[in-house]
């Protein structure tokens, strides 16, 4: 009931059919490997299912035949065109790395000949060309993900990079020192005062004041909440209820969507931050002068009908840092400051919640350097030991106490 190349169909008993399809070739014997599928139903439906299976495995066999000759560049092209549940910002990063890899000599190498030592030599070449840690790490992760996907999709038999350790990832996530955060807060206040003093009949002066007020709220809010830049750009006035801020959306690739972890979190803001938020909202809504007032907290427009982009939000903050003569400070580093403050107090779970990490291991992995040190007594004992001092160490004192307690117990005998 059908040509062999397109699979065979046999009715074993009324309404029950066996469909046999060639799924590949045995690499040892060279014989065709067949697989049986059972179908219950009418003959017409069984025929339709046979055609579907034949087409599916014909495509699979063509991919498998081409696999030994598949280059890294071709694999990257297939991988990036496949269906993925990536955030818009992830798409941007992946496409950038795929573009760089496709233009690299490694793109012409066959996947079948890819080895860890080849990738290590390639990464060394990138570093010699001036690529930083984050660039090398990003390209490697994309390459390994593409090869892993190919194995999962049965395009290749094994993942040659499965057990390969990646390059060092970017270093410790440095926070903004407390004195610099305070300097930014003070400067934002000063700039608001200057903008108020320069206010005249021109619209430009009003917009300058409006921007300065938003920058002041931005610094305070980022340093209090630890929210991501995309989450700050997506905030609405209705997200604040009393002192509780609900973070339920974020901006990725300048598109509004769920947060990075696709979870909603609620956190309590400081009283000063809440007072500034409410005062700013009241001032801005009054400034709109009868025009319907929008819902977005940060906006270029007086009426706040359109939200400010995440890129513009970061640019505003960068301008403030330049004015404060602070080098290397970004809006995201205020998030690290919140994390470092909480982890430094040993509050891992609270830091995890405030930052919106999926699990505490992420928080601990990124901010373990901020954990409080509790080995001071041990350090003192080692110091005494190294100095040769006759003063008994803590361990010796503990031993003497234990020995005295035992002697007392034996001399008196156990009670009862």
User: What confidence score (pLDDT) does residue 414 get?
Assistant: 42
Nearest Cα neighbor of 310 from 227, 228, 254 is: 254
237 and 362 part of one domain: yes
pLDDT, tens only, 309-338: 999 999 999 999 999 999 999 999 999 999
CB contact at 8 A, 294 and 304 = yes
Structural domain includes residue 404: yes
Average pLDDT (350-364) is 89
139 and 268 part of one domain: no
318 and 193 part of one domain: yes
How do 250-252 and 255-257 pair as beta strands?
antiparallel
Rounded Cα gap, residues 352 and 226, in angstroms: 10
320 and 265 part of one domain: yes
Structural domain includes residue 20: yes
pLDDT, tens only, 220-273: 999 999 999 999 999 999 999 999 999 999 999 888 999 999 999 999 999 999
186 and 334 part of one domain: yes
Structural domain includes residue 172: no
Structural domain includes residue 165: no
57 and 182 part of one domain: no
Please report which confidence band the pLDDT of residue 58 belongs to, taking 50, 70 and 90 as the band edges: confident
Tell me which of 69, 101, 118 is where a domain ends. Answer: 69
210 and 359 part of one domain: yes
User: Poorest-confidence range of 70-79, 300-309, 345-354, 402-411?
Assistant: 402-411
Structural domain includes residue 166: no
Structural domain includes residue 361: yes
CB contact at 8 A, 391 and 384 = yes
Total domain count, the chain:
4
Structural domain includes residue 161: no
93 and 124 part of one domain: yes
Whether residue 1 is predicted with pLDDT greater than 50 in this model: the reply is: no
Task: Classify the phi-psi angles of 253: left when phi > 0, otherwise alpha if psi is within -120 to 50, otherwise beta.
Answer: left
Domain that holds residue 132: 85-152
348 and 214 part of one domain: yes
Structural domain includes residue 245: yes
61 and 109 part of one domain: no
């Amino acid at each position: 009931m059908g040509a062999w190349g397109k699979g065979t169909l046999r009715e074993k008993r009324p309404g029950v059919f066996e469909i046999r399809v060639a799924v590949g070739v045995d690499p040892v014997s060279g014989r065709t490997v067949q697989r049986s599928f059972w179908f219950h139903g009418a003959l017409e439906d069984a025929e339709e299912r046979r055609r579907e299976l034949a087409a599916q495995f014909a495509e699979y066999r063509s991919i498998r035949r081409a696999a030994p000759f598949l280059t890294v560049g071709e694999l990257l092209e297939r991988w990036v065109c496949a269906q993925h549940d990536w955030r818009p910002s992830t798409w941007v990063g992946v496409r950038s790395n795929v573009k760089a890899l496709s233009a690299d000599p490694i793109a012409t190498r066959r996947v079948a000949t890819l080895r860890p030592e080849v990738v290590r030599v390639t990464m060394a070449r990138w570093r010699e060309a001036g690529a930083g840690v984050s660039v090398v790490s990003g390209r490697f992760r994309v390459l390994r993900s593409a090869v892993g996907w190919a194995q999962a999709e049965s395009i290749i038999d094994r993942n040659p990079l499965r057990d390969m350790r990646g390059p060092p990832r970017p270093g410790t996530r440095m926070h903004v020192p407390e004195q610099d955060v305070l300097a930014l807060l003070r400067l934002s206040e000063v700039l608001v005062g200057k903008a108020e003093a320069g206010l005249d009949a021109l619209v430009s002066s009003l917009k300058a004041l409006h921007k300065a007020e938003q920058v002041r709220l931005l610094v305070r809010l980022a340093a209090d909440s630890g929210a991501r830049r995309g989450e700050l750009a997506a905030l609405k006035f209705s997200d604040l209820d009393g002192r509780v801020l609900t973070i339920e959306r974020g901006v990725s690739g300048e598109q509004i969507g769920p947060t990075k972890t696709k979870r909603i979190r609620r956190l309590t803001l400081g009283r000063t931050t809440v007072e500034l938020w409410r005062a700013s909202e009241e001032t801005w809504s009054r400034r709109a002068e009868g025009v319907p007032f929008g819902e977005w907290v940060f906006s270029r427009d007086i009426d706040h009908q359109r939200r400010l982009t995440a890129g513009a939000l970061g640019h505003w903050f960068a301008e403030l840092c330049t004015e404060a003569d602070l080098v290397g400070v970004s809006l995201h580093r205020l998030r690290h400051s919140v994390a470092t403050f909480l982890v430094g107090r040993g509050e891992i779970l609270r830091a995890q919640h405030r930052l919106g990490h999926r699990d505490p291991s992420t928080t601990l992995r990124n901010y373990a350097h901020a954990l409080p040190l509790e080995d001071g007594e041990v350090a003192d004992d080692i110091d005494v030991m190294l100095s040769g001092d006759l003063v008994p160490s803590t361990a010796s004192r503990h031993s003497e106490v234990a020995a005295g307690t035992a002697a007392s117990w034996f001399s008196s005998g156990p009670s009862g």
